[in-house]
Amino acid sequence: MRKKLFLATLIIALITLTLSMLAVNLVFHQQFSDYLTKANEATFEQLPSRLSLLYQSKGTWDQRALDEISPTLPVGTVVTLTDTSGKLIATLSHTMESMMQGQDGMNMNMTMGMFSSSTITSWKTMTLTVLGPLGTIGTALIRYPATAPILNPQDVLFQSSVFRSLIFAGGLALLFGIILSYFTSRRLVAPLKRLTQAADRIGQGYLDERVAIQTKDEVGQLATAFNAMMDNLNRQEILRKQFAADIAHELRTPLTSIKSYIEAFQDNVLPADQENLSSIHEEIDRLVDLSSDLKDLNVAEMGALTLIFEPVNLKHLLDKVIHSLYPLIQEKQLTLIWNPPPELVTMSGDGRLLTRLFYNLVHNAYRYSNIGGQITLSLLQTPDFAIIRIKNTGTGIPEEDLSYIFERFYRADKSRTRETGGTGIGLALVQQITTLHHGTIAVQSMVGQETEFIVNLPKEIKVVEG
């Protein structure tokens, strides 16, 4: 991974550097060519005045003086100087051969190859009048390359030095890019390497392994998500072990009781009368309820529970739940306050599962209410949701236990365990049924005072048929 990232970064830097150098070189050549063109034009414009001064200083056209002008002309330029009658006075030229004089053989051959006249395909001409004190003294016909100025040795050396400087700067930039790519790839891969090592440790069973990456970038977010995932996995592992212990306890208690009764019957310690047989029947019912609840919860968690959606009258459904539990509520001397709305509250849902949901919540309120306490049921609605609130006075739930009460077999009051009744998975089933109806359930409690469950259910559920 680190090698690939280093090579990728290096290739990108190399491509970028190459393209940049090509672009700079192209722009430089174009700008330098434009500069030479303007310089040549300025030389041409000054030529008539120079010839005029030369003529006036000598009083005639001096060939030696004219020859001194030739090297100052742009390379490849030919100037034909004639008098007023059209007679040829002199031909001035800065030829490539004369330009090579004084150069060593290597430079001469190189530059001659670069600037052979065969490479010039088109020419331009310019006619300038040479004026003297008394009027026109001659005409200069200038002939020069039309495509691009021909470079003299100084221009070639200048371009070569610029090119070498560009190559040197590019080399330094490439070296810097290599060093930067190395350390950048190392820094980027280091946290990923730590994540990989942590994942390997977790694969070996060390679920307490975490990664300490404090950056705010995507890698830091990945590390945060990784740690959160491991916290959840660790918690799930603890719950799994706790579940195994709890289910063993929940099964062992009634089975031990039944075994004790049967051994007592066999030893004639207890008579097999109606009272003792009823106790055995209660323990068997507890096992059946536990098995049924576990099956329903498992099916719900797997998403394999079949829901039959139909219009459900929530007010009527809650009336039935209250009616079925009313004898128990009276037996415990509880005050039941039921606040139904005057209007009809209907929703789309599975009536059987919704009955199970609210039966478990009301029965839970009954079980954890003190004798002489109070249970309050409220049914509200908004245009899109039905809101059911179930509150009871009693022991309450500590704040640190609120986030765990929907776990299987979790009991906030460890000292009461099975004495309060139930299988210990009622609230877990409640949460699953609520989720299947696309709703939410929340709980708020004050220790020693009251506990309230709030269920929000959408009135309409869009069923996606697969």
CATH code for the domain in which residue 288 is found: 1.10.287.130
pLDDT of 262 higher than 50: yes
- Does 146 lie in the same domain as 47? yes
Q: Does a structural domain hold residue 195? A: no
- Does 362 lie in the same domain as 329? yes
Work out the angle between the directed axes of helices 153-203 and 218-266 (0-180°, nearest 10).
10
List, edge to edge, every strand of the sheet that includes 335-339.
335-339, 374-381, 385-393, 450-458, 440-446
Q: Are 437 and 349 in contact (CB under 8 A)?
A: yes
- Number of separate domains in the chain: 3
Other beta carbons within 10 Å of 393: 21
Is the model more confident about 465 or about 314? 314
- Does 153 lie in the same domain as 22? yes
CATH code for the domain in which residue 396 is found: 3.30.565.10
Is the model more confident about 36 or about 340? 340
Question: What pLDDT is recorded for position 170?
Answer: 80
Question: What pLDDT is recorded for position 462?
Answer: 65
**Whole-number Å distance between alpha carbons of 338 and 336:** 6
- Does 242 lie in the same domain as 147? no
Q: Are 368 and 328 in contact (CB under 8 A)?
A: no
Q: How far is CA 430 from CA 357, 395, 438, in A?
A: 5, 21, 13
Most confident of 127-131, 134-138, 156-160, 333-337: 333-337
**Whole-number Å distance between alpha carbons of 349 and 434:** 10
Per the prediction, the chain carries an average pLDDT of 80
**The last residue of a domain, from among 171, 203, 232:** 171
Other beta carbons within 10 Å of 381: 19
- Does 355 lie in the same domain as 257? no
pLDDT of 416 higher than 60: no
Q: How far is CA 140 from CA 78, 122, 233, in A?
A: 10, 20, 95
343 secondary structure, DSSP code = S
- Does 347 lie in the same domain as 294? no
CA atoms within 13 A on the CB side of 144: 22
Whose CA is closest to 456, among 390, 361, 387, 355? 387
**The last residue of a domain, from among 301, 331, 361:** 301
Is the model more confident about 287 or about 4? 287
- Does 126 lie in the same domain as 224? no
CA distance from start to end of the chain: 41
pLDDT of 115 higher than 50: no
66: containing domain: 2-171
pTM reported for the whole predicted model: 0.48
CATH code for the domain in which residue 96 is found: 3.30.450
- Does 241 lie in the same domain as 149? no
Q: Are 388 and 434 in contact (CB under 8 A)?
A: no
Q: Does a structural domain hold residue 136? A: yes
Question: What pLDDT is recorded for position 345?
Answer: 92
**The last residue of a domain, from among 111, 140, 171:** 171
Mean pLDDT confidence for 378-406: 89
Q: Does a structural domain hold residue 372? A: yes
Q: Does a structural domain hold residue 428? A: yes
CA atoms within 13 A on the CB side of 252: 6
**Whole-number Å distance between alpha carbons of 188 and 185:** 5
- Does 105 lie in the same domain as 44? yes
Q: Does a structural domain hold residue 450? A: yes
- Does 234 lie in the same domain as 85? no
Question: What pLDDT is recorded for position 85?
Answer: 85
- Does 405 lie in the same domain as 285? no
**Whole-number Å distance between alpha carbons of 224 and 218:** 10
- Does 338 lie in the same domain as 439? yes
Kindly report, residue by residue over 430-466, the tens digit of the pLDDT: 898 899 899 999 999 998 889 999 999 999 876 554 4
Q: Position 19: which residue type?
A: L
Q: Does a structural domain hold residue 273? A: yes
